[in-house]
Amino acid sequence: MAKKWVYLFTEGNTEMKNLLGGKGANLAEMTNLGLPVPQGFTITTEACTQYYEDGEKINDEIMGQIMEYIEKMEEIAGKKFGDKENPLLVSVRSGARASMPGMMDTILNLGLNEEVVEVLAAKSSNPRWAWDCYRRFIQMFSDVVMEVGKKFFEELIDRVKKEKGITEDVDLTADDLKKLAYLFREEYKVKIGKDFPDDPKTQLMEAVKAVFRSWDNPRANVYRRDNDIPYSWGTAVNVQMMVFGNLGETSGTGVAFTRNPATGEKHLMGEFLMNAQGEDVVAGVRTPRKIDQLKEVMPEAYNKFVEICGKLEDHYRDMQDMEFTIEDTKLYMLQTRNGKRTAKAALTIACDLVDEGMISEEKAVKMIDPRNLDTLLHPQFDSEALKNTEPIGKALAASPGAACGKVVFNADDAKCWHEKGEKVILVRLETSPEDIEGMKAAQGILTVRGGMTSHAAVVARGMGTCCVSGCSEISMDEDNKTFTLAGKEFHEGDWLSLDGSTGKIYDGVLPTMDATIVGEFGRIMAWADKYRRLKVRTNADTPADAKKARELGAEGIGLCRTEHMFFEGDRIDAFREMICSDTVEEREAALEKILPVQQGDFEKLYEALEGNPVTIRFLDPPLHEFVPTDEEDIKKLADAQGKTVAQIKNIINSLHEFNPMMGHRGCRLTVTYPEIARMQTKAVIRAAINVQKAHEDWNVCPEIMIPLICDEKELKFVKNIVVETADAEIAAAGSNLKYEVGTMIEIPRAALMADDIAKDAEFFCFGTNDLTQMTYGFSRDDAGKFLNAYYNTKIFENDPFTKLDQIGVGKLMETAIKLGKSVRPDMHIGICGEHGGDPSSVEFCHKIGLDYVSCSPFRVPIAKLAAAQAALANK
Ligand code: PEP
Ligand code: MG
């Protein structure tokens, strides 16, 4: 039997998201619930995948089924495509499993042509409406399907308005709109070189292809990468009977959330426009009215809508984001989905739903996107400064957070300035999907037009970027890159601060302060703690980082990169002396200076961690990162070493490596200079003894981690040095301190030889930054230069340095775990590469049985939530 590529709304349900996409599955579910849904059909996500497999063609089988379903739809509707009595008009919309703003959104009024529009105009008492629908359709089809570009049509509208001496679209008459429709058709022919298609089936197939194509446009690809959505999912296409919100003053259209998507508060929130079609609301062109006002305008439709909202929330047990249209007083539901929300709202809604008895704690933990938490962990404006500063404007608080930056006026500038290291605020009349990369690069986004559901607001909330929208007080001159607000003219490069939580705009730079885990955040984290198995440690190199990480819930330090302790102040001097020593004596003299500094830092780390495990990794820097490059520093070093500048330059030259990442670094430094490991061991052990003495109830047990091991004998050699030194220190202090020596697994050979290596390693920790670099054989520092080409050619979907390559690098990890545990079943194993804070990688770490992940302090809560979700998903 042929595969089924098309489903009527009556044939699906909400469980079929993978096949029907989110929109399609929910249209089917609402149909099943008996809600007023204009009927139609969904072409599956598999048809999209097949389209690409067939070389961007809709094959005969799929085409045949679409045609069959058009007939079924015509039967249900009692209307026919292109019919002169009773023409069928449809909307065509994309709908992937996860909603994606980068994709094609909507084509309305499809099915209209010269003949049909005349019929509509004659039959309805409203010819203006008929011609308006037609010119909109030509405009949308040309723009969205054929990519002609909106501006040509807007220019034509402006021309006709000018000729008539009017300024508002609503003042265009039926005849004006008819004239425009014909001008649009001519414009289409000029741009495309063919007549505008009049056959509704041709129009439909072109629109379907456009939806499929939009799955692969650059914006969608960027969005997918940022949101961990696989290319292989494909998008579905929904073809739905039109209902008209622009039939007159008893018609309208709107969007609404069952709870506030910015704060989570439980009240209906939304916007509508009377006598309008859907895109008027989201495009932010006309300023919509608040949903509450619908109560006065159309009480019956409003009451029905409120009832449906309640029903949908009860059914989905989550906040819903809905689109509706009222056609001549009758309400229709066009969409429902679990609404996108800010991190703050996500926590509030999850806690409220638990308190309302709607969902379990487990469901609450599952429904929060860990990546979203990021925004809550980032700074807010200092409340004192807020009290003492007058805002220069206020608009909609569209996406929370505090942002300060220099004003830029377009997405390209935002991206460009950001790449140069500038913080920018993107100020736009309104944003469109083309602006995504610029929005991502910006600290904050400010728009002149648009409501809470405008593109800017929705996308910024998704990205966790601060956004203030709809600031109509701004008088904007985009061409000349200036705007005026509160009497002040702002130019490109001027500083501006935005508070996305209040919608307030401030001149200049306001001080910020760190966020803390309290209230609902704390509640959710406590639930996450209950369900997760993986421990979450942090990568912290300084006592300050360690303290922050502890506050954010870190259960240990998984990686202290000891070389990073030398980045600050004049500490680097002693470090450079050590690197640029000629003799063991010189090196030992430099190490003597370093020892107390390191010991002091280690003491503070143990203090901050209050008896929780602390893994200290011995020196691992590619030395080139530390050698002085400017003359003044070279001179300073020469003086300190009692050498000439020329001598130092010679040493620096001799340190030059062609491939420093694979050069004289990691444990290789100890093999050549054992005195370095001796000094570090002394610092670790002395610090631990001191802190243990001061806190007898703590279990201070340092974990000494050797980097870049590739061979059993190599580890044995280094370990002997460590153990000899440590045991001597412990004996001399009369202490009974316990310590462990383990290794990073970050070279493929170490993973393959892990059984041999485990003989001397009490623990393993995967350094997946190097392991990824060395498994792929490309540089972690330079991959950015060619990764884009790899994305464009679909060789890679993601950056393997961000999202763990589970099948390749992951296979090495699984091998190492199996081999290691075969020798030492109780060894603890963790990960401390960047992947330790990436939710999908955390899930993998859970599945392969790691004991902990370690990540940067701000990602600790994210990793904890991801770990709980992994445990719940794999229960
Ligand atoms: C790693 O390689 O994954 C690691 C944690 O070490 P570093 O990033 O310091 O090389
Ligand atoms: Mg490494």
pLDDT for 90-115, tens place per residue? 999 999 999 887 787 789 999 999 99
Beta strand residue intervals within 73-208, DSSP E? 90-96, 106-110
Statement: residue 623 has pLDDT above 90: no
Distance (Å, whole) CA 834 – CA 842 = 11
**Count of Cβ atoms closer than 10 Å to residue 365 Cβ:** 25
Query: What's the distance, CA 726 to chain centroid?
Result: 45
| pLDDT-derived band at 173, boundaries 50, 70, 90 | very high
pLDDT at 58 over 90: yes
| Average pLDDT score over the chain | 92
Residue 574: the pLDDT is 86
pLDDT reading at 463 higher than 80? no
Answer yes or no: 667 catalytic: no
Catalytic residue among 832, 835, 845, 846: 832
Which residue lies with its CA nearest to atom 6 of ligand 1?
767
> How much of the chain is in helix, strand and coil states, percent to nearest 5?
50, 15, 35
Write down the pLDDT at residue 863: 97
Q: Which helix (H) or strand (E) holds 178?
A: helix 174-192
- The side-by-side arrangement of strands in the sheet containing 475-477 is 475-477, 482-485, 488-491
| SS3 at position 325 | strand
863 C-alpha to center of ligand 2: Å? 20
Pairwise CA distance, residues 115 & 624, whole Å: 75
Ligand 1 pocket test, pick from 538, 539, 541, 559 with the greatest ligand atom count within 8 Å of Cβ, gives 559
- 297 vs 331: CA distance, rounded Å: 13
Ligand 2: centre distance to CA 539 (Å): 12
Kindly name the residue from 455, 828, 835, 846 that is annotated as catalytic. Answer: 455
CA 740 – CA 347 distance, rounded (Å):
40
Ligand lying nearest the CA atom of residue 766? 1
Q: Which of 207-221, 360-374, 565-579 has the lowest mean pLDDT?
A: 565-579
768 CA: nearest ligand 1 atom: 3
Residue nearest (by alpha carbon) to ligand 1 atom 8: 769
Nearest protein CA to atom 1 of ligand 1, as residue: 767
User: What residues pair up with 705 in beta bridges, in sequence order?
Assistant: 617, 742
Q: How far is ligand 2, taken at its centre, from the CA of residue 374, in Å?
A: 25
Q: Which bound ligand lies closest to the C-alpha atom of 772?
A: 1
- Nearest-CA residue for atom 9 of ligand 1: 561
- pLDDT value of position 148: 87
The reply, when asked if residue 777 is annotated as ligand binding, is no
Q: In this structure, which ligand is nearest to the CA of 856? A: 1
Environment class of 583 (CB within 10 Å of its CB; exposed 0-12, middle 13-18, buried 19+): exposed
Ligand 1 atom with minimal separation from the 620 CA: 9
Q: How far apart are the first and last CA of the chain?
A: 37
Using pLDDT thresholds of 50, 70 and 90, give the confidence band for residue 202.
very high
Listed by start position, the domains of the chain span 246-341, 378-513, 532-622+657-873
Residue 605 · residue 541 · CB < 8 Å: no
Please determine, for residue 544, whether its predicted confidence score (pLDDT) is greater than 90: no
How does residue 455 score in pLDDT terms, banded at 50, 70 and 90?
Answer: low
Does the pLDDT of residue 357 top 60, yes or no?
yes
> Is the pLDDT assigned to residue 379 strictly greater than 80?
no
| Stronger pLDDT, 266 or 574, i.e. the higher one | 266
Largest CA distance in the chain: 103
> When comparing pLDDT for 209 and 344, which is higher?
209
Pocket test for ligand 1, best of 560, 620, 669 (most atoms within 8 A of CB): 620
CA of 63 to the centre of ligand 2 (A): 53
Please, is 815 exposed, middle or buried when counting C-beta atoms within 10 Å of its C-beta (0-12, 13-18, 19+)?
middle
User: Strand ranges (DSSP E) for 661-778?
Assistant: 703-706, 740-745, 763-766
767 is in an annotated binding site: yes
Superfamily of domain 532-622+657-873: Phosphoenolpyruvate-binding domains (3.20.20.60)
User: How far is Cα 434 from Cα 102, in angstroms, rounded to an integer?
Assistant: 8
Q: Name the residue at shortest CA distance from atom 10 of ligand 1.
A: 770
Confidence of residue 281 (pLDDT cuts 50, 70, 90): low
pLDDT at 452: 65
Q: What does the alpha-carbon distance between residue 481 and residue 477 come to, in Å, rounded to a whole number? A: 6
Q: Supply the residue whose CA is at minimum distance from atom 4 of ligand 1.
A: 767
Residue 849 host element (H or E):
none
Q: What percent of the chain has pLDDT above 90?
A: 71
CB of 769 closer than 8 Å to CB of 746: yes
Ligand 2: centre distance to CA 767 (Å): 5
Residue 150 has pLDDT above 90, yes or no: no
Q: Which ligand is nearest to the CA of 709?
A: 2
Give the per-residue pLDDT at 454: 67
CATH class of domain segment(s) 378-513: alpha beta
For 574, 714, 756, the CA distances from 644, given in Å and listed in that order, are: 17, 36, 47
* Ligand 1 atom, smallest distance to 834 CA: 3
pLDDT of residue 866: 98
Percent of the chain with pLDDT strictly greater than 70 = 97
259 is in an annotated binding site: no
Going by pLDDT thresholds of 50, 70 and 90, the confidence category of residue 433 is: low
Q: How far is CA 151 from CA 103, 178, 187, 307, 503, in A?
A: 20, 19, 11, 41, 30
> Distance between CA 411 and CA 426 in Å, rounded?
7
**Does the annotation flag 561 for ligand binding?**
yes
CA–CA gap between residue 790 and residue 802 (Å, rounded): 15
Residue 787 has pLDDT above 90, yes or no: no
- Nearest Cα to Cα of residue 106 among 323, 275, 296, 270: 323
Closest residue to atom 3 of ligand 1, CA basis: 767
pLDDT band (50, 70, 90) for residue 125: confident
Q: Which helix (H) or strand (E) element contains residue 505?
A: strand 504-507
**Residue 455 is a catalytic residue:** yes
Neighbours of 782 (CB within 10 A): 11
Element housing 426 (H / E):
strand 424-428
Tell which CATH classification among 3.40.50.300, 3.40.630.30, 3.30.470.20, 3.30.70.1230 matches the domain 246-341: 3.30.470.20
- Nearest ligand to residue 564 Cα: 1
Amino acid at 555: E
Ligand 1 atom nearest the C-alpha of 832 is: 5
Interval between CA 836 and ligand 1 midpoint (Å): 11
Lowest-pLDDT choice from 51-60, 113-122, 513-522, 841-850? 513-522
Q: Which tokens is 331 given?
A: 């309400």
- 3-class DSSP assignment, residue 535: strand
- 617 annotated ligand binder: yes
Residue 716 has pLDDT above 90, yes or no: yes
Q: What's the CA gap between 106 and 91, in Å, rounded?
A: 7
Cα–ligand 2 centroid distance for 796 (angstroms): 23
Res 284 pLDDT > 60:
no
Which residues does a 6 A CB cutoff place in the pocket of ligand 1?
A: 559, 561, 620, 746, 767-770, 832-833
Ligand 2 centroid to residue 585 C-alpha, Å: 29
Residue 836 · residue 842 · CB < 8 Å:
yes
Q: Which atom of ligand 1 is nearest to the CA of 707?
A: 6
**Ligand 1 pocket: which of 618, 661, 745, 770 to mutate (most atoms within 8 A of CB):** 770
